[in-house]
């Protein structure tokens, strides 16, 4: 199937997919930093992560709906609503906690590195609940990513204040919650996708996943933003700060365009190619954030970046190895 896809897909489609993924998500990361760091004339910040999630999920719903109509004509039959509600809830919580970590002062590049350790909760859950076993290479990959993040975190040359220590701790806690949610999302999404394919005889289409996951995320984010009194305050803050409004709008649609580009590439090429593009994009996002924000890292922190990046590339190598093994089999 993958070979057939690659044979039918043109270089132009590949270029569109790669440029869409790299362009949208590299700019997305920059805009995220701008939004988190923005201060108005009075020194106030937006600091409303659930409100931002409403806007981001809304943009993804709009683009996902357009993509679904253009490529499928409509949704697949018997959409598993409960599955989407569960995974949408955990996914939007993961994204909100990642943004909250940055509000607490965790740099975008470090949050991106930490998020690459999302296989940890997945692996632990599989070990506890299904007795799964993983090869040594998998554990080494995980250890490299975690070890690299630790080096970046503890390698700070300046001695932080007590308040900074508290902020760092809260930021890392938010990332831990985000990782746990990623683990739940991955496991549950795989389960309901497999169940759907078994019941219907074919899997959910890419834009089914994009539209209905983000629709569930939108519902949860809107309810939470209203409950935490973030929605109307967020609207007022953006109305009073047009430049931030523009940044948030760009951020939301970059997310939607990036996701759409991933699904477009998945529909036309082998999944391994999609993994290759998204994995290398993460490393470029880390480096771009460091350079563009003017972060000055010491040798210990740079070694942490290198070690974690090796772990990320190790993930990619593992997938290549699996593909080669499957071909031999």
DSSP-derived letter for residue 77 is: S
Q: Which residues of the chain have pLDDT under 50?
A: 1-7
Q: What is the pLDDT of residue 7?
A: 46
Buried b (16+ CB within 10 A) or exposed e, 239-255: eebeebeebbebbbbbb
Q: What is the pLDDT of residue 134?
A: 77
Q: What is the pLDDT of residue 69?
A: 93
Could you tell me the CA-to-CA distances from 127 to 120, 121, 123, 269, 323 in Å, in that order?
11, 10, 6, 32, 24
Helix axes 11-37, 81-103, angle to 10 degrees: 50
Q: Measure the CA–CA gap between 94 and 87, rounded to whole angstroms.
A: 10
Q: pLDDT per residue over 220-273, tens digit each?
A: 999 999 999 999 999 999 999 999 999 999 999 999 999 999 888 877 776 667
Q: Measure the CA–CA gap between 23 and 16, rounded to whole angstroms.
A: 10
Q: What is the pLDDT of residue 123?
A: 72
Q: Are 91 and 217 in contact (CB under 8 A)?
A: yes
Q: What is the pTM of this model?
A: 0.82
Q: What is the pLDDT of residue 135?
A: 81
Q: Are 10 and 273 in contact (CB under 8 A)?
A: no
Q: pLDDT per residue over 32-52, tens digit each?
A: 999 999 999 999 999 999 999
Buried b (16+ CB within 10 A) or exposed e, 297-326: beeebebbbebbbbbbebbbebeeeeeeee
Q: What is the pLDDT of residue 89?
A: 95
Q: What is the pLDDT of residue 56?
A: 97
Q: What is the pLDDT of residue 184?
A: 82
Tokens 């109305």 belong to residue: 239
In the chain the first and final C-alpha atoms are separated, in Å, by 16
Helix axes 81-103, 206-227, angle to 10 degrees: 60
């Amino acid at each position: 199937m993958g070979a057939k896809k690659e044979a039918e897909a043109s270089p132009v489609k590949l270029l569109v997919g790669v440029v869409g993924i790299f362009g949208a998500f590299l700019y997305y990361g920059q805009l995220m930093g701008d939004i988190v760091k923005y201060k108005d004339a009075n020194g106030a910040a937006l600091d409303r992560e659930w409100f931002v999630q409403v806007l981001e999920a809304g943009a993804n719903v709009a683009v996902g709906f357009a993509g679904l109509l253009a490529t499928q004509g409509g949704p697949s039959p018997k959409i598993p609503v409960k599955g989407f509600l569960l995974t949408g809830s955990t996914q939007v919580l993961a994204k909100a906690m990642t943004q909250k970590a940055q509000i607490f002062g965790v740099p975008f590049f470090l949050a991106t590195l930490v998020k690459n350790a999302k296989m940890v909760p997945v692996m632990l859950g599989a070990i506890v609940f299904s007795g799964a076993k993983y090869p040594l290479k998998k554990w080494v990959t995980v250890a490299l990513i975690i070890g690299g993040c630790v080096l970046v975190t503890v390698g700070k040359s300046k001695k932080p204040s007590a308040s900074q220590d508290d902020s760092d701790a809260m930021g890392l806690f938010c990332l831990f919650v985000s990782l746990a949610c990623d683990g739940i999302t991955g496991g549950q999404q795989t389960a309901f996708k497999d169940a759907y394919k078994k019941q219907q005889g074919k899997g959910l289409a890419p834009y089914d996943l994009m539209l209905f996951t983000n629709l569930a995320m939108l519902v949860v984010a809107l309810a939470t933003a209203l409950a935490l009194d973030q929605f109307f305050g967020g609207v007022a803050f953006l109305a009073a700060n047009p430049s931030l409004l523009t940044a948030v709008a760009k951020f939301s649609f970059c997310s939607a365009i990036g996701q759409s580009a991933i699904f477009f590439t998945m529909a036309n090429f082998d999944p391994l190619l999609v993994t290759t593009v998204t994995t290398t994009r993460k490393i470029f996002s880390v480096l771009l954030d460091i350079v563009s924000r003017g972060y000055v890292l010491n040798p210990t922190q740079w070694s942490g970046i290198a070690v974690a990046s090796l772990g990320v590339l190790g993930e990619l190598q593992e997938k290549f190895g699996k593909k080669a093994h499957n071909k031999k089999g």
